[in-house]
Amino acid sequence: MEKKETYELLLKQIEALIEGEATNEMGGLANVSSALHYAFDRFFWTGFYLQRAENSLLLGPFQGTVACFNIPIGKGVCGSAFAERRTLIVPDVEKFPGHISCSFESRSEIVVPFYDVNGEPVGVLDIDSRELNAFDETDAHYLEKIMKVLTEKIYQR
């Protein structure tokens, strides 16, 4: 199946998954990390970091191998995407200054920040691949869309 078709199906699946689960933040994030991870063969790590302290992001629900607990805001790919409030596509993690390596297997990644309904940043979605250059604008487009659907349900506060 084409990547776009897989994402279109995923969007519908995720909408259905979180319908009626507005109060279950952790359950919603956990199910979305699973739906994303298993929709594609090519994701090595799929999960969330959430702002739970002023200066750092803490590990949230994920699928994949064990990961760093804590990422300072402004550092690494996750901390930079969160601080800059924009999606970052990193084709080769070794070329990203200050990349935080949780696993030597991770070669490329995409990080998508997300916000509550007031536009306040909540955290980031982080997806890693064992392949170089695994992510492009199509991934960015659909992952941003998925996070919008999710956050409109879960972060209404």
Give the separation between CA 89 and CA 77, rounded to whole angstroms.
Answer: 9
Give the nearer residue to ligand SME in terms of CB position, either 31 or 129: 129
Minimum CB–partner distance for residue 44 and ligand SME (Å):
9
Give the separation between CA 92 and CA 129, rounded to whole angstroms.
Answer: 10
Minimum CB–partner distance for residue 75 and ligand SME (Å):
7
Instruction: Judge contact between 106 and 140, C-beta under 8 A.
Output: no
Q: Of 107, 112, 109, 119, whose CA–CA distance to 152 is shortest?
A: 119
Q: Residue type for 88, please?
A: L
Residues near ligand SME (CB under 6 A):
45, 67-68, 71, 76-79, 99-100, 102, 106, 109, 126, 128
Minimum CB–partner distance for residue 111 and ligand SME (Å):
7
Minimum CB–partner distance for residue 16 and ligand SME (Å):
27
Radius of gyration, CA atoms only, the chain = 14
Residue whose beta carbon is closest to ligand SME: 76
Task: Provide the sign of the torsion angle of the four alpha carbons 108, 75, 126, 145, taken in this order.
Answer: negative
Give the nearer residue to ligand SME in terms of CB position, either 39 or 78: 78
| Structure token digits, residue 105 | 């297997």
Minimum CB–partner distance for residue 76 and ligand SME (Å):
3
Give the nearer residue to ligand SME in terms of CB position, either 23 or 133: 133
